[in-house]
Protein backbone atom coordinates (compact mmCIF):
# COMPACT_ATOMS: atom_id res chain seq x y z
CA UNK A 1 0.00 0.00 0.00
CA UNK A 2 1.80 3.10 -1.24
CA UNK A 3 -0.60 5.82 -0.09
CA UNK A 4 -4.13 6.34 1.12
CA UNK A 5 -6.52 9.20 1.58
CA UNK A 6 -10.02 9.97 2.78
CA UNK A 7 -12.85 11.09 0.52
CA UNK A 8 -16.66 11.06 0.54
CA UNK A 9 -18.15 7.63 -0.05
CA UNK A 10 -19.74 6.87 -3.42
CA UNK A 11 -22.31 4.24 -4.38
CA UNK A 12 -19.67 2.31 -6.32
CA UNK A 13 -17.68 1.80 -3.10
CA UNK A 14 -20.31 -0.38 -1.51
CA UNK A 15 -19.35 -3.74 -2.95
CA UNK A 16 -16.05 -3.37 -1.09
CA UNK A 17 -17.70 -1.82 1.96
CA UNK A 18 -19.96 -4.89 2.19
CA UNK A 19 -16.89 -7.14 2.41
CA UNK A 20 -15.57 -5.15 5.37
CA UNK A 21 -18.96 -4.97 7.07
CA UNK A 22 -19.60 -8.70 6.79
CA UNK A 23 -16.15 -9.56 8.11
CA UNK A 24 -16.93 -7.71 11.34
CA UNK A 25 -20.44 -9.16 11.56
CA UNK A 26 -19.12 -12.71 11.33
CA UNK A 27 -15.85 -12.40 13.26
CA UNK A 28 -16.01 -9.52 15.72
CA UNK A 29 -17.87 -7.73 18.47
CA UNK A 30 -17.28 -4.41 16.70
CA UNK A 31 -20.90 -4.64 15.58
CA UNK A 32 -23.85 -6.26 17.30
CA UNK A 33 -25.28 -7.32 13.95
CA UNK A 34 -25.44 -11.10 13.66
CA UNK A 35 -26.75 -11.50 10.10
CA UNK A 36 -24.84 -10.64 6.95
CA UNK A 37 -25.82 -7.47 5.10
CA UNK A 38 -25.87 -6.92 1.37
CA UNK A 39 -24.80 -3.93 -0.69
CA UNK A 40 -28.38 -2.67 -1.01
CA UNK A 41 -28.88 -2.51 2.76
CA UNK A 42 -25.62 -0.64 3.22
CA UNK A 43 -26.59 1.78 0.47
CA UNK A 44 -29.85 2.46 2.30
CA UNK A 45 -27.81 3.57 5.31
CA UNK A 46 -25.57 5.69 3.09
CA UNK A 47 -28.50 7.54 1.52
CA UNK A 48 -30.07 8.04 4.94
CA UNK A 49 -26.84 9.59 6.26
CA UNK A 50 -26.56 11.87 3.23
CA UNK A 51 -30.19 12.90 3.64
CA UNK A 52 -29.42 13.80 7.26
CA UNK A 53 -26.63 16.09 5.97
CA UNK A 54 -23.99 14.08 7.80
CA UNK A 55 -20.66 12.72 6.56
CA UNK A 56 -20.09 9.23 5.18
CA UNK A 57 -16.45 8.75 4.17
CA UNK A 58 -14.06 6.08 2.98
CA UNK A 59 -10.32 5.65 3.14
CA UNK A 60 -8.92 4.43 -0.17
CA UNK A 61 -5.53 3.22 -1.37
CA UNK A 62 -4.31 4.48 -4.71
CA UNK A 63 -2.05 1.60 -5.79
CA UNK A 64 -4.38 1.14 -8.76
CA UNK A 65 -5.72 4.57 -9.83
CA UNK A 66 -8.38 2.93 -12.00
CA UNK A 67 -9.84 0.93 -9.11
CA UNK A 68 -9.15 2.42 -5.67
CA UNK A 69 -9.15 -0.13 -2.86
CA UNK A 70 -11.40 0.68 0.10
CA UNK A 71 -9.37 0.41 3.31
CA UNK A 72 -12.16 1.47 5.63
CA UNK A 73 -15.37 3.41 5.98
CA UNK A 74 -16.87 5.67 8.61
CA UNK A 75 -19.95 7.79 9.08
CA UNK A 76 -21.97 9.81 11.55
CA UNK A 77 -25.68 9.22 11.98
CA UNK A 78 -28.36 10.90 14.03
CA UNK A 79 -28.65 9.50 17.53
CA UNK A 80 -32.20 8.17 18.00
CA UNK A 81 -33.46 9.99 14.89
CA UNK A 82 -37.09 9.21 15.68
CA UNK A 83 -36.85 11.58 18.68
CA UNK A 84 -36.25 15.10 17.42
CA UNK A 85 -34.86 16.48 20.69
CA UNK A 86 -31.71 14.42 19.98
CA UNK A 87 -31.16 16.17 16.63
CA UNK A 88 -27.91 17.89 17.75
CA UNK A 89 -26.29 14.56 18.70
CA UNK A 90 -24.62 12.09 16.34
CA UNK A 91 -23.22 8.58 16.77
CA UNK A 92 -20.07 7.42 14.99
CA UNK A 93 -19.42 4.16 13.14
CA UNK A 94 -15.85 3.38 12.04
CA UNK A 95 -14.60 0.18 10.39
CA UNK A 96 -11.14 -0.59 8.97
CA UNK A 97 -10.33 -3.44 6.59
CA UNK A 98 -8.98 -6.30 8.77
CA UNK A 99 -5.84 -6.60 6.64
CA UNK A 100 -4.93 -2.95 7.24
CA UNK A 101 -5.31 -2.41 10.97
CA UNK A 102 -2.84 -0.29 12.99
CA UNK A 103 -1.86 1.75 9.93
CA UNK A 104 -3.44 5.03 11.01
CA UNK A 105 -6.51 4.57 8.83
CA UNK A 106 -9.04 4.67 11.66
CA UNK A 107 -7.39 7.74 13.17
CA UNK A 108 -7.42 9.55 9.85
CA UNK A 109 -11.10 8.79 9.30
CA UNK A 110 -12.02 9.86 12.84
CA UNK A 111 -10.12 13.13 12.45
CA UNK A 112 -11.92 13.80 9.18
CA UNK A 113 -15.35 12.98 10.60
CA UNK A 114 -14.87 15.26 13.59
CA UNK A 115 -13.55 18.06 11.41
CA UNK A 116 -16.58 17.82 9.16
CA UNK A 117 -18.99 17.70 12.08
CA UNK A 118 -17.40 20.83 13.54
CA UNK A 119 -18.22 22.74 10.37
CA UNK A 120 -21.56 24.46 10.18
CA UNK A 121 -21.90 23.29 6.58
CA UNK A 122 -20.20 20.57 4.57
CA UNK A 123 -21.15 21.04 0.89
CA UNK A 124 -18.27 18.89 -0.35
CA UNK A 125 -19.90 15.84 1.25
CA UNK A 126 -23.40 16.37 0.02
CA UNK A 127 -25.30 15.67 -3.13
CA UNK A 128 -26.08 19.35 -3.58
CA UNK A 129 -26.03 22.53 -1.49
CA UNK A 130 -26.47 22.39 2.26
CA UNK A 131 -30.07 22.95 3.25
CA UNK A 132 -30.93 25.98 5.35
CA UNK A 133 -32.52 23.68 7.91
CA UNK A 134 -29.30 21.69 8.43
CA UNK A 135 -28.83 21.07 12.13
CA UNK A 136 -25.39 21.57 13.68
CA UNK A 137 -24.05 18.66 15.71
CA UNK A 138 -22.98 19.57 19.25
CA UNK A 139 -22.38 16.16 20.83
CA UNK A 140 -20.76 13.06 19.34
CA UNK A 141 -21.17 9.56 20.77
CA UNK A 142 -19.14 6.41 20.24
CA UNK A 143 -20.75 3.21 21.52
CA UNK A 144 -18.38 0.24 21.63
CA UNK A 145 -18.56 -3.35 22.78
CA UNK A 146 -16.24 -4.31 25.62
CA UNK A 147 -14.48 -7.36 24.20
CA UNK A 148 -12.87 -8.85 27.30
CA UNK A 149 -10.83 -11.18 25.08
CA UNK A 150 -9.41 -8.26 23.12
CA UNK A 151 -6.51 -5.84 23.58
CA UNK A 152 -6.19 -4.64 27.20
CA UNK A 153 -9.17 -6.73 28.16
CA UNK A 154 -11.30 -4.77 25.72
CA UNK A 155 -10.27 -1.35 26.99
CA UNK A 156 -7.75 -0.71 24.22
CA UNK A 157 -10.40 0.73 21.93
CA UNK A 158 -11.80 2.82 24.78
CA UNK A 159 -8.32 4.26 25.36
CA UNK A 160 -8.02 5.00 21.63
CA UNK A 161 -11.09 7.23 21.83
CA UNK A 162 -9.99 8.86 25.10
CA UNK A 163 -6.67 9.87 23.53
CA UNK A 164 -8.70 11.74 20.94
CA UNK A 165 -10.72 13.74 23.41
CA UNK A 166 -13.65 11.46 24.16
CA UNK A 167 -14.81 10.87 27.73
CA UNK A 168 -16.34 7.63 28.98
CA UNK A 169 -19.79 8.56 30.27
CA UNK A 170 -21.26 5.15 30.92
CA UNK A 171 -21.07 1.38 30.75
CA UNK A 172 -24.08 -0.86 30.12
CA UNK A 173 -23.77 -4.33 31.61
CA UNK A 174 -24.46 -7.45 29.53
CA UNK A 175 -26.74 -5.73 27.04
CA UNK A 176 -25.47 -7.73 24.05
CA UNK A 177 -25.23 -11.46 23.36
CA UNK A 178 -23.02 -12.68 20.54
CA UNK A 179 -20.78 -15.70 20.01
CA UNK A 180 -22.29 -17.25 23.15
CA UNK A 181 -21.11 -14.41 25.38
CA UNK A 182 -22.81 -11.61 27.29
CA UNK A 183 -21.25 -8.30 26.36
CA UNK A 184 -21.05 -4.88 27.99
CA UNK A 185 -21.02 -1.68 25.96
CA UNK A 186 -19.11 1.49 26.77
CA UNK A 187 -20.49 4.90 25.82
CA UNK A 188 -18.04 7.70 25.06
CA UNK A 189 -18.89 11.32 24.35
CA UNK A 190 -17.14 14.28 22.76
CA UNK A 191 -18.48 17.83 22.93
CA UNK A 192 -17.99 19.92 19.79
CA UNK A 193 -18.85 23.22 21.44
CA UNK A 194 -16.88 25.27 23.94
CA UNK A 195 -19.50 26.00 26.57
CA UNK A 196 -20.03 22.48 27.78
CA UNK A 197 -18.70 18.97 27.81
CA UNK A 198 -19.17 15.41 28.89
CA UNK A 199 -18.46 14.35 32.44
CA UNK A 200 -16.91 11.00 33.21
CA UNK A 201 -18.80 8.58 35.46
Mean pLDDT of 139-146: 98
With CA atoms as reference, report the closest residue to 196 among 98, 106, 89. 89
Q: pLDDT at position 201, please?
A: 45
In angstroms, rounded to a whole number, what is the distance separating the alpha carbons of residues 54 and 136? Answer: 10
pLDDT per residue as tens digits for the range 28-56: 999 999 999 999 999 999 999 999 999 99
pTM, two decimal places: 0.88
pLDDT at 69 over 60: yes
Domains of the chain: 4-135 (3.40.630.30), 138-201 (3.40.630.30)
Which candidate, 32, 36, 30, places its Cα nearest to that of 149? 30
Average pLDDT over residues 64-83: 90
User: What is the per-residue pLDDT for 124?
Assistant: 43
Cα(181)–Cα(197) distance, rounded to whole angstroms? 34
176-192 tens-digit pLDDT: 999 999 999 999 999 99
- Considering just the CA atoms, what is the radius of gyration of the chain in Å? 17
Q: Are 151 and 157 in contact (CB under 8 A)?
A: yes
Amino acid sequence: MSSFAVRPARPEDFTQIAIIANYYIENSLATFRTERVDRAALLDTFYSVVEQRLPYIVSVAFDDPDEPFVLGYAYASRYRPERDAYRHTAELSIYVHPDHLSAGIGSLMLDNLLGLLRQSSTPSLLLGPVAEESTPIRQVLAVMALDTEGYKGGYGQRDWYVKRGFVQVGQLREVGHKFGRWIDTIILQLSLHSDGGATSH
